[in-house]
Each structure stands twice: as structure tokens, then as C-alpha cells.
Amino acid sequence: MDSDHESDDRPPRRPPVPSRDPYVYTLQSSRHATSAKVCRDFVACVLNSVGQEELVDTATVCTSELATNAFLHAEGDSVMLRVVIEPPRFRVLVYDASAELPAAACLPEGDRLHGRGLGLVAALADAWGTAEGDAVGMYAKGVWFELAGKEEDEA
């Protein structure tokens, strides 16, 4: 009698070999007042999922600053967030439709309310900078930051 189930006499499957390629997670968000929170939550979820919990606080602050800048100063209807993990390095890129590069990251003097975001990112992140737009041409530039996490064998 024929059956629809697999035979039990096959050898067991081996666990998959971990990829050496970077992990890449992408979120496209409308350019809206809620964008910074959505982007922060997305980054926190990714970091918690890959065992890099110690980076969550710093990463969410930096992500919030970049997403807020895109909301306040960029053009277009949306922003794209890309999280790239190449252990132990972790990079977040926020793309927008404005070709204008951000001003240098220095903290303003006095009690000014604006202009502190990139200075904060520069102070907290291991590195930060700008990137060319996406390959499709929907976004003109990206602004990124990078943090160093723990090695996989330390986890």
C-alpha cells in the first residue's frame, strides 16, 4: 500500500551551516512623525533576535536621530532603513530622497534645541558617515552608523 509520508529509513538531516554572508534586514517606512519610533523598534527587534542585546540602547538612540533627521529635513514620501550585521560589526543605514549631505557632527554651543543629533551619533557610535543612494534610485543618499558587538563565540 502506498503512503504519502516520508520513509523513516533515511539518514537524519544535518543542521544548516551558518552563512558567512552578512545578515541584512530592510524596512521601508513612510516619512511620517512615527517613523523614528518604528525604525527604533525595528532595530531593537533585530538586535535582540541575533543576540546583540548589549547594543540596543545605543543603537536605538542613534537610529532615532538618523530617522528624525530624515523626517525633518529630507524630501520624498518614505525612508528606508537597512540593518547590516557582519559579526561583530553592526551597521544601520537610513536612506532618504534628499541629495543634501548632513552637516558636520559637532554639538552646537549654547541652548539651541536643534543640531545635536549627528553630534550625539558621532559621540556614541564607533563610526558614522554617508553612503550613495540605493541601486534602484528611489533614495538619493544614506546616513549610517556602526557599532561593534560581541563575537559570535562570545555569545
Distance, CA of 64 to CA of 33 (rounded, Å): 11
In angstroms, the Cα distances linking 87 to 93, 146, 149 are 16, 12, 7
At 127, the pLDDT band (50, 70, 90 cuts) reads: very high
Give the single-character DSSP code of 74: -
- In this predicted structure, what is the pLDDT of residue 107? 55
Distance CA 7, CA 99 (A): 59
Task: Give this prediction's pTM.
Answer: 0.79
Give the model confidence (pLDDT) of 9-51 as tens digits: 766 666 655 567 889 999 999 888 899 999 999 999 999 999 9
Non-local CB neighbours of 41 within 8 Å, separated by 6+ positions: none
Q: What are the beta bridge partners of residue 142? A: 95, 131
The pLDDT, as a whole number, for residue 114 is 58
Per-residue confidence (pLDDT) for residue 93, from 0 to 100: 97
Residue percentage of the chain with pLDDT more than 90: 50
Per-residue model confidence as pLDDT tens digits over 112-125 = 555 568 888 999 99
Residue scoring higher pLDDT (70 or 155): 70
| Residue 57 scores a pLDDT above 80 | yes
Q: What percent of the chain has pLDDT over 70?
A: 77
